[in-house]
């Protein structure tokens, strides 16, 4: 365990001076309900690449949470009255404000989450892109006009905002996932209450400061975007709160199950983005020059801490050994180091908890018959570093293969056919992302069809990670069934009314019923 003793780095280390440009200081208030406050537990944000404290954040209490909810609901009444295109203009300005701070926010993700700089800035860009998407959406929310069977009647659909949307995000994508939900929610006419991960409080504070400055500049109540940093008690309160008609939760399947059950009991809506035990299938006709870099990024990127990380590599037996050897050479070339340094490809795990999960998974895999092909150990340096790891020799249905470990561990499996590989892809409980590498057109359409992958994201000749915002993102089975970002995901943030208007002087009933 790394020591967290010593001075706060935000005050003592020149490389973190940029944090002050984001409105952060040594001691931050972690609640925004129209104004900044916080009188709960004080948590210390820890830097993953050296294990030292960055800054303190005072979290919120249940009372402050309730005030945040009340203020956000009050702000909704005015926000929902603003025409959609004008709401879209505010969202556009939020995107521009984030764009201006892209470099600083990207560095913040390196410092607090542990991401390398390109991935950190890429996450900010994703929020900006979704803002752009929401701007266009604000002028074209869909609806339908149906032919009525009754003369002098109009039958149509009306979409309206639902009110306050709760958003609970995880540590690994604290900005992008919040951006998916918030951009669409605001454009739809909702207000948002955000609870970020307890280990990434500075991200929540910095993003909220940027967004509320834009709201205030436009004469909009800043309580449109409220935020409460807190622990499980705040998340539990959101799950049971009838004042939050929709709760979006991103995290583990275990916790997501509890959240979804609690929300369902009160007849609310939940949008769940949970775990993924993702596979890449490599057939004998695959272009291995594409396979190797794709697998490398999907298995090693973000230090294996993406929900879309490739954890199972299912390779046709005729090219299995060749793929394995090329991957091992590629792993040897991964530049490990401080994520703030431009040439680093692989940074630290987010926390000591990740290292403990990594150690246990490696030991369990070996106990179940795995051969360690590469890595498998902690790296002796400050911070939370482990080696990217490849393991072979396991059965496709081994317990550890069916266990999602949020760490950079790749299990390589040998298959005889596409049908067998598809069955292995589908046999795990999660159904998030999947990829097939082949040049065969028939196999491609089989993979995308009813007897192909059962995942929400089905790729061909690209990695399992790195989804674009234009398509809806999410997965099936224990992944939760939620859909965020593009396509028609906006519908989850609105309520639909089927409206019938009688503009005649008669009162005919449907189905020709006579009631006279």
Active site residues: 273, 307
Q: How many Cα atoms within 13 Å fall on the side-chain side of residue 290? A: 16
Q: Is 142 left (phi over 0), alpha (psi -120 to 50) or beta?
A: beta
Number of neighbouring beta carbons within 10 Å of residue 480: 27
DSSP code per residue over 234-265? HHHHHHH-TT-SEEEEES-HHHHHHHHHHHHH
Distances (CA, A) of 272 to 175, 243, 484: 17, 19, 9
Q: How many Cα atoms within 13 Å fall on the side-chain side of residue 261? A: 6
Q: What's the maximum distance between 2 C-alpha atoms anywhere in the chain?
A: 87
**Gap between the Cα atoms of 327 and 219, Å rounded:** 55
Phi, psi of 432 (to 5 degrees): -95, -75
Number of neighbouring beta carbons within 10 Å of residue 387: 19
DSSP code per residue over 28-90? EE-EESSSEE--S-EEEEE-TTT--EEEEEE---HHHHHHHHHHHHHHHHHHTTS-HHHHHHH
Residue 343, burial from CB neighbour count under 10 angstroms (0-12, 13-18, 19+): exposed
Tell which residue, 135, 110, 136, has the closest CA to residue 123: 110
Angle of CA points 318, 321, 326, to nearest 5° = 120
**Gap between the Cα atoms of 191 and 298, Å rounded:** 34
Signed CA dihedral, 223, 248, 98, 232: sign only: positive
Element (H, E) at 422: helix 418-426
Signed CA dihedral, 97, 98, 101, 105: sign only: positive
Number of neighbouring beta carbons within 10 Å of residue 216: 11
First to last CA, the chain: 81
Q: Which residues contact 365 (CB under 8 A, 6 or more apart)?
A: 391, 394, 398, 400, 409, 411
Q: How many Cα atoms within 13 Å fall on the side-chain side of residue 283? A: 21
């Amino acid at each position: 365990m790394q020591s967290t003793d010593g001075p706060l780095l935000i005050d003592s280390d020149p490389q973190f001076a940029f944090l002050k440009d984001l409105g952060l200081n040594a001691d931050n208030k972690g609640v925004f309900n129209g104004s900044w406050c916080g009188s709960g537990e004080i948590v210390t944000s820890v830097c993953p690449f050296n294990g030292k404290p960055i800054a303190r954040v005072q979290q919120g209490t249940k009372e402050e949470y309730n005030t945040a909810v009340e203020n956000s609901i009050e702000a909704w009444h005015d926000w929902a009255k603003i025409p959609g295109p004008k709401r879209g203009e505010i969202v556009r300005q939020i995107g521009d404000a984030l764009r201006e701070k892209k470099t600083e926010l990207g560095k913040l993700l390196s410092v607090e989450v542990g991401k390398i700089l390109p991935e950190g800035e890429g996450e900010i860009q994703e929020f900006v892109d979704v803002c752009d998407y929401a701007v266009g959406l604000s002028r074209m929310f869909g609806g339908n006009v149906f032919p009525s069977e009754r003369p002098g009647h109009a039958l149509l659909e009306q979409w309206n905002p639902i009110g306050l949307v709760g958003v609970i995000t995880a540590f690994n994508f604290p900005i992008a996932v919040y951006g998916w939900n918030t951009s669409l929610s605001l454009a739809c006419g909702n207000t948002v209450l955000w609870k970020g991960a307890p280990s990434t409080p500075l991200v929540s504070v910095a993003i909220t400061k940027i967004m509320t400055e834009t709201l205030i500049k436009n004469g909009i109540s800043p309580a449109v975007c409220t935020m409460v940093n807190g622990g499980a008690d705040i998340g539990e309160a959101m799950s049971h709160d009838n004042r939050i008609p929709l709760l979006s939760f991103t995290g583990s399947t275990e916790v997501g199950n509890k959240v979804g059950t609690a929300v369902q009991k009160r007849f609310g809506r939940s949008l769940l983005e949970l775990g993924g035990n993702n596979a890449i299938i490599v057939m004998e006709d695959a272009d291995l020059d594409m396979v190797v870099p794709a697998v490398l990024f999907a298995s090693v990127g973000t230090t294996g801490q993406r929900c879309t990380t490739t954890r199972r590599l299912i390779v046709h037996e005729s090219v299995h050994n060749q793929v394995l050897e090329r991957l091992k050479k590629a792993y040897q070339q991964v530049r490990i180091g401080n994520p703030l340094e431009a040439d680093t490809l692989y940074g630290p795990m987010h926390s000591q908890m990740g290292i403990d999960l990594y150690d246990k998974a490696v030991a369990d895999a070996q106990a179940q018959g795995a051969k360690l092909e590469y890595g498998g150990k902690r790296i002796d340096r400050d911070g939370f570093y482990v080696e990217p790891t490849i393991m072979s020799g396991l059965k496709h249905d081994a317990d550890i293969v069916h266990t999602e470990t949020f760490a950079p561990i790749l299990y390589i499996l040998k298959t005889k056919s596409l049908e067998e590989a598809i069955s292995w892809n589908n046999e795990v409980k999660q159904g998030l992302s999947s990829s097939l590498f082949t040049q065969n057109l028939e196999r491609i359409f089989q993979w995308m069809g009813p007897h192909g992958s059962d995942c929400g994201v089905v790729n061909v000749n690209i990695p399992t990670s790195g989804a674009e915002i234009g398509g809806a993102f999410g997965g099936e089975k224990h992944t939760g069934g939620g859909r965020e970002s593009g396509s028609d995901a906006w519908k989850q943030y609105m309520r639909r009314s089927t409206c019938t208007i009688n503009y005649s002087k008669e009162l005919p009933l449907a189905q020709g019923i006579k009631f006279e």
